[in-house]
Amino acid sequence: MNIISKFRGKKTVADIAILKERRHSEVVRKVTPTLIEEFEDYLTIDKDTFVTCVVLGVPTKHHNGFPKTLPLNFTGQIMAIENTGEFLIDISYKCSPIPPAEAMALLDNSMYVNRVSMAQVEKETRKETGVSVHSQRYDFQAQDFTYLFKEVYKNEQKLFDTQYIIVIKASSLEGLRNGTSSVLGVIEANVVNYEMPYHKMLDTYMAALPFPTSVEFAEMQQLSNSCGALLPLNDPLTPLADTGLLYGLRKADGSPYIIDWQTLAAAHHIIIGGTGSGKTVELMKLMMSGHDILGHRFIYITPKPDSRTNFISVANYYADQAQVIQIGAASGCQNINPLQIMIDSNQTMLTDADYVTLFNNHLELLTAFFSVMDTSTNMDDYIIQSLIELYRRHGIIRKNVSTWKNRAGKDYPVLVDLREIWKEDVEKKNPSAVAMLNRTSRLETSWEYINRPTDIRMDKDLIVIDLSGVPGSLQSAMNVFVTGLMSLRFNTDLTKKTCVIIDEGRVFLQNKSLTEFILKMYTQGRSYEMSAMFATQQVSDINKDIQELFKNNSFVNIVMGNVQPNSYKGLEDFFSLSPDDMRALKTCGVGEGLVQVRGKSTAVSFSLTDLEKDVILGEWKAGKKAFIDSGFQLIDDRLKSLIIDQEGIMSDWVEGDPKVLGIDRVPYNIQQTFGRGMTQVWVNPTKVKDGKIMQQTPDHYGTVLQIGAYLLLKGFEVKINHFEDADIIAELNGHTIAIEYERQGSHSKKELIDKKTKLQTTYGKVLFIVPSTYYSVVADPSCVGPENTVSRGSALDEYLTDLWQEYRDLKPLIQQSCSVLTA
């Protein structure tokens, strides 16, 4: 029994040891890469990652480790090196405090050694030359030792064992060389001593990683202040938000520059840019992206006519989602009757109290509208009284919501009706009425159009309001009214966030009431889930007394590039730009600029996508079909036109997994036209009826699509018909060929001959492509003939390649005709 229990005891001990070993081995084996190989000057990890290290700051006999005046952002400079697809840079800094007593002992010893060495050199040189040579090196070292000793002794700083290693990783040796070169460039520019630890790369690499290890040759001793400056605890590159609204690409490295509006106190913007700087284009880009990515509602208000930048084209692009409102007297322009209370028909959740608030806000807005005409407080009160009276006379009772909630626009009073009340009050010797009557006399002349009922709709998500048609004398009032109306309209709908964009804001700031109104939007908009973008040409457009208020409430500032030198000072002061920011701004051209968020400025290129270019610059044609590829990459962009026209796509036209096509398409298996095996054609399900795609069998449709793509990529102009004419008409250098794809039983022999004759008459050359099993029938001389027939597969590939070479080498047809004429 004793022996058995002893054995059991030993087994338990062994089991525990095994378990411990397994647990331990699991961690180290889990963490270690599969294969590490050490070479003289680099490592490879798993054969696909090349690694090299640089040891920094270790002093030698001839050099100090770091210069005395090393900039505090030295580590930041290394961190700011662009990590491209070629290489990655890691920084490791280790510090471990030395107890003061030990530190002082080390320093004492070093000072002693320094003196002895100095004396020894002096003695030797005196012996050899008769003159003692005194090296300054020992003096400088002695000064350093004394300084360090003083700092440690007086408890001003601690002394640390430190180690600074930079690791460069790349997927190729060339990338590793480039990375090393970039790093050494920064190190040498700062005159820092460094060493490539040849033959010790693995030890150095492991010492750089977060383990409690170090290598002796990388160790040095530094004071606390040096440690604080060298630790990588301040990132020079703003970590770009990785989700939010895309503004453009960061100029420094081409990274997408994104601002997450949710992290801002309010998404208010100030945009400053001179004429032709790309300000309006950027506003349009932000409007489109904000609408499509964030799902926000945008109202763009501009007092300048649409010229080079086609903001109307942007609205047209979005068709039913957008509306262009051109206010003015001219024919075709719309009108807003200021007295009509606008209610969003989409909103059904409002209570009676909400409606009354809406009414009150509208009265306030009307007061603001008239305040532009320099009204006094008494006059403002009088305006409200007269408005209530006017509404009462028209059966509109403020608190009785049913009297106006569903009222048609034409049943609302207009401003001329209000003047009638004022006229009555003039007779009662009311001075406010007299003043108002005098100030609004043009309502019966040049402003008369405003007395029309409202004929705009405001239930769209993108509203472009063009105020350029409003007479100058009424423009300020209309600006206030329209801007306010839009804000009020969207204040009541908190389900969608709204952004009001005011372009050419200089016009708005020329009027005090209007300025106050805009400031109110900036200061209070956040409560209503509203944001504002205010764009103007120069900082001086904003009055000095409101600049601070504007600045404090704007959380994104954009300064467009192409700045005139005389504007530098104003911009520098207004946005508190640093010398570095100013340098960056001066390098910004048209379509570029500085974006400032939380005081940090970044040079950004507001590059447009192809579609944005088309739309914003007015080249988008109505009815032009959009190419939607649900996020896949085509093997060749030339196929795009075919996909748009034919609404089908072959799985081998896509890079990567073709399953992404399944988002909005259905697949059909068909045979490869030029090779063996099967492939898939993916089509829009709306184009499929009774198992046929555009009246063709999937095989016919897919085969024609494959041949069309083949020719397209060879440089032919290709037209595909599914209903009449030849299946494919291809043209190169003016030479045309008509191609028909025929399957057994689809046509009789006579029909084929008729087809051949007809197509030959029209296009000259005809080719019938058939499955190999049908070749003998069609190629028979009594039918279409062998010269006009080819079977699918490799024979077709050869035929079309020969044809392409023939057409390519032929002179263009027009040149041939000229040659004949010349002859």
Partner 1 sequence: MESLLLRTVREEVWGHPWYWVQNSGIYMLITVFIPFLILIISDSLIVKGICALVIGFFILVYIRHLSTPEKYNSTIKRIWYTYRVYRGKTIIPKYSTPLEFLKEIVPLEAVHPTGIIQFTRNRYGVLFRLYVPTETEGGLETFVPMVVSNFVNRIVETQTLKVFAMNRYVQSANIINEILEAMNDSSGRTPEQIAHLESIYRQLNESVKVPTQRYIYMFLGLGFFETVPEAESSLKNILPSLRDGFAISGITGIRVIDPNEIALTYRRCLK
State which residue, 231 or 519, has the beta carbon closest to partner 1. Answer: 231
**Least distance between partner 1 and beta carbon 528 (Å):** 23
State which residue, 84 or 385, has the beta carbon closest to partner 1. Answer: 84
Is 743 buried (19+), middle (13-18) or exposed (0-12) by CB count in 10 A? middle
Do the beta carbons of residue 655 and residue 632 sit within 8 Å?
yes
Q: What is the DSSP letter of 696?
A: B
Distance (Å, rounded) from C-alpha 123 to C-alpha 726? 105
Instruction: Show the tokens assigned to 548.
Output: 């601070």
State which residue, 219 or 344, has the beta carbon closest to partner 1. Answer: 219
**Least distance between partner 1 and beta carbon 194 (Å):** 12
Q: Return all residues near 773 (Cβ < 8 A) that are at least 6 apart.
A: 744
State which residue, 84 or 567, has the beta carbon closest to partner 1. Answer: 84
**Least distance between partner 1 and beta carbon 225 (Å):** 6
**Least distance between partner 1 and beta carbon 113 (Å):** 5
Instruction: Show the tokens assigned to 392.
Output: 């009462």
Instruction: Show the tokens assigned to 401.
Output: 């919501």
State which residue, 88 or 384, has the beta carbon closest to partner 1. Answer: 88
**Least distance between partner 1 and beta carbon 89 (Å):** 6
State which residue, 162 or 277, has the beta carbon closest to partner 1. Answer: 162
Task: Print the SS3 string covering 471-530.
Answer: CHHHHHHHHHHHHHHHHHHHHCCCCCCEEEEECCHHHHHHCHHHHHHHHHHHHHHHHHCE
State which residue, 37 or 188, has the beta carbon closest to partner 1. Answer: 37
Q: Return all residues near 225 (Cβ < 8 A) that are at least 6 apart.
A: 157
State which residue, 103 or 458, has the beta carbon closest to partner 1. Answer: 103
State which residue, 284 or 790, has the beta carbon closest to partner 1. Answer: 284
Distance (Å, rounded) from C-alpha 475 to C-alpha 509? 12
**Least distance between partner 1 and beta carbon 288 (Å):** 6
**Residue/partner pairs of 23-27 with CB below 8 Å, 24 or more apart:** none
State which residue, 109 or 400, has the beta carbon closest to partner 1. Answer: 109
Report CA dihedral (636, 642, 648, 649) to the nearest 10 degrees. Answer: -10
**Least distance between partner 1 and beta carbon 558 (Å):** 18
State which residue, 93 or 311, has the beta carbon closest to partner 1. Answer: 93
Q: Cα dist. 340→101, 322, 345 in Å?
A: 86, 22, 14
CA 645, 649, 653, 659 dihedral sign is positive
State which residue, 106 or 467, has the beta carbon closest to partner 1. Answer: 106
Instruction: Show the tokens assigned to 505.
Output: 């804001």
Q: How many CA atoms lie within 13 A of 341 on its CB side?
A: 23
Q: Return all residues near 335 (Cβ < 8 A) that are at least 6 apart.
A: 327, 449, 450, 452, 453, 454, 455, 456
State which residue, 49 or 537, has the beta carbon closest to partner 1. Answer: 49
State which residue, 160 or 481, has the beta carbon closest to partner 1. Answer: 160
Q: How many CA atoms lie within 13 A of 208 on its CB side?
A: 23
**Least distance between partner 1 and beta carbon 321 (Å):** 6
In DSSP notation, 291-327 reads IIII--EEEEEESS---SS-HHHHHHHTGGGEEEEEE
Distance (Å, rounded) from C-alpha 384 to C-alpha 713? 71
Select from 335, 594, 361 the least CA-distant residue to 478.
335
State which residue, 113 or 353, has the beta carbon closest to partner 1. Answer: 113
| CB burial readout 209-219, b (16+ within 10 A) else e | eeeeebbeebb
State which residue, 200 or 268, has the beta carbon closest to partner 1. Answer: 200
Q: Cα dist. 680→644, 659, 695, 721, 742 in Å?
A: 18, 11, 18, 20, 20
Q: Cα dist. 596→50, 86, 271, 506 in Å?
A: 38, 30, 10, 21
**Least distance between partner 1 and beta carbon 174 (Å):** 16
- The backbone region for 335, taken as left when phi is positive above 0, alpha when psi lies in -120 to 50, beta otherwise, is beta
**Least distance between partner 1 and beta carbon 209 (Å):** 5
Q: What is the residue type of 780? A: D
**Least distance between partner 1 and beta carbon 534 (Å):** 24
**Least distance between partner 1 and beta carbon 56 (Å):** 9
Distance (Å, rounded) from C-alpha 299 to C-alpha 462? 6
**Least distance between partner 1 and beta carbon 11 (Å):** 22
State which residue, 259 or 327, has the beta carbon closest to partner 1. Answer: 259
Do the beta carbons of residue 513 and residue 312 sit within 8 Å?
no
Do the beta carbons of residue 727 and residue 742 sit within 8 Å?
no
Distance (Å, rounded) from C-alpha 359 to C-alpha 472? 28
**Least distance between partner 1 and beta carbon 263 (Å):** 13
**Least distance between partner 1 and beta carbon 715 (Å):** 24
Distance (Å, rounded) from C-alpha 174 to C-alpha 180? 10
**Least distance between partner 1 and beta carbon 90 (Å):** 4
**Least distance between partner 1 and beta carbon 522 (Å):** 24
Is 125 buried (19+), middle (13-18) or exposed (0-12) by CB count in 10 A? middle
In DSSP notation, 258-298 reads EE-GGGSS---EEEE--TTSSHHHHHHHHHHHIIIII--EE
Q: What is the residue type of 764? A: G
Phi/psi of residue 44, nearest 5 degrees: -120, 140
State which residue, 189 or 818, has the beta carbon closest to partner 1. Answer: 189
**Least distance between partner 1 and beta carbon 486 (Å):** 22
